[in-house]
Amino acid sequence: MNEIPPLASLCDPSAPLEDGHGRTVRYIRLSVTDRCNLRCTYCRSGMETFIPHESVLRYEEMEQLVDMAMDMGVEKVRLTGGEPFARKGFVGFLERLRAAHPTLDIRITTNGTLVGPHVSELKAIGLNAVNLSLDTFDRAKFERVTGRDLFARVRESMDALLDAGIPLKLNAVAMRGFNDDELPAFINYAMTHPVDVRFIEFMPMGEGTRWSDACFWSAPDILTAVKEFVSVEPVAHEQRNGGPARLYTLSGPSGPGLGRLGLITPLSSHFCAACNRLRITSDGALRTCLFDDKEYRLRNALRHPKLGIEAVRRIVALATRAKPIGARILERRHDAVAQRRMTAIGG
């Protein structure tokens, strides 16, 4: 049974965004585009239709949404996609966000292929962190999985971000038969760089993305395999900053690692109790849970001459009250964990 949801957020426009399960939203993931310059075989079918340009939120509209979210207690925004740097004007958008909100925690999730030329601008903006997706340390495999020979560019971006002192996390989708044989390379990177190297369990997403049970490499299995190479020590929950990753410090024959191992386990062990996030797709749909296909159309309200941002605020507050426990939705699903593909939802 749901607890009775708080009403404060509906009556008071600046009340915190509380849901019916005692969770408070502090974090928005905003997808700036559903387009991507990579063709990752597990993420995109190659048959997908893209959101028409006129339906994609304009940057000014995203800025309005972030202003509103901050009024409602949001402290952190992650810009994602698709590939955020593939959208024209993305860095200018970041500059305006930072100018409007000096204290906002602004992070980006990127494939790293287009970041290199912008590192000094990102540093000047005071970007809080970059999560960079890299599933392999092998150039030929990178090209095979992404369809592009851009591994060297990604590695250069990683070095440039670290040289600039921008906090970096590495995200790899764990896939048996694809990158399980590269565990030593991932561990070596975490040992020698101050980077959290995080494996994300592969999820069956909708819209025809490729999935095979045989590829699933669970977090417990990854941890067992890691222990064959290094010793691991779990990081206490309160030191994880509320993130979804279970973190481990690493230690090898030459001493402790500079970075850590992270395991993100949406399937084998959920993290719903600590979930403090909402997602907004690039066409302005609010999703309160990755696994819930219910979407609230913010864009129509935002663009409506008689509604606008105040109506959006009420929709967001109401939707947040109904934010579900994703694990309960997952229990009832037998096919994909969500009907839209990751690039459309904003991974």
Coil, strand or helix: which one is 46?
coil
196 is an interface residue for ligand SAM by CB under 6 A: no
Cα 87-88-90 angle, rounded to 5 deg: 75
- Site for ligand SAM (CB under 6 A): which residue of 27, 42, 90, 93? 42
Amino acid, single-letter form, for residue 219? A
- Site for ligand SAM (CB under 6 A): which residue of 111, 157, 179, 288? 111
Binding mask 150-189 vs ligand SAM (x if CB under 6 A, - otherwise)? Answer: ---------------------x-x----------------
Residues 123-152 binding ligand SAM (CB under 6 A) are 133
Q: How far apart are CA 304 and CA 280, in angstroms?
A: 18
Tokens of 229: 């190479």
Least CB distance to ligand SAM at residue 172 (A):
8
Give the total of residues touching ligand SAM (CB under 6 A).
Answer: 20
Of 49-57, 145-153, 196-204, 241-249, which segment contacts ligand SAM by CB under 6 A?
A: 196-204
Which residue lies nearer to ligand SAM by CB, 111 or 281?
111
Q: How far apart are CA 281 and CA 287, in angstroms?
A: 8
Position of minimal CB gap to ligand SAM: 347
109 is an interface residue for ligand SAM by CB under 6 A: yes
**142 membership: H or E segment, kind and range:** helix 139-146
- Site for ligand SAM (CB under 6 A): which residue of 259, 324, 326, 347? 347
Q: Counting beta carbons within 10 angstroms of the beta carbon of residue 213, is it exposed (0 to 12), middle (13 to 18) or buried (19 or more)?
A: exposed
- Site for ligand SAM (CB under 6 A): which residue of 25, 34, 77, 110? 110
Least CB distance to ligand SAM at residue 229 (A):
23
Binding mask 55-94 vs ligand SAM (x if CB under 6 A, - otherwise)? Answer: -------------------------xx-x-----------
Tell me the CA distances in angstroms from 314 to 17, 58, 60, 198, 298, one per residue in order: 11, 21, 20, 36, 10
- Site for ligand SAM (CB under 6 A): which residue of 77, 94, 200, 219? 200
Pairing state between β 255-264 and 245-252: antiparallel
Q: How far apart are CA 269 and CA 264, in angstroms?
A: 9
- What b/e string do you get for 129-144 counting C-beta neighbours within 10 Å, with b at 16 or more? bbbbbbbbbeeebbee
Q: How far apart are CA 282 and CA 206, in angstroms?
A: 17
Strand partners, 201: 174
- Site for ligand SAM (CB under 6 A): which residue of 142, 202, 248, 291? 202
36 is an interface residue for ligand SAM by CB under 6 A: yes
9 is an interface residue for ligand SAM by CB under 6 A: no
Residues of this chain that bind ligand SAM (CB under 6 A)? 36, 42-43, 80-81, 83, 109-111, 133, 171, 173, 200, 202-203, 205, 209, 342-343, 347
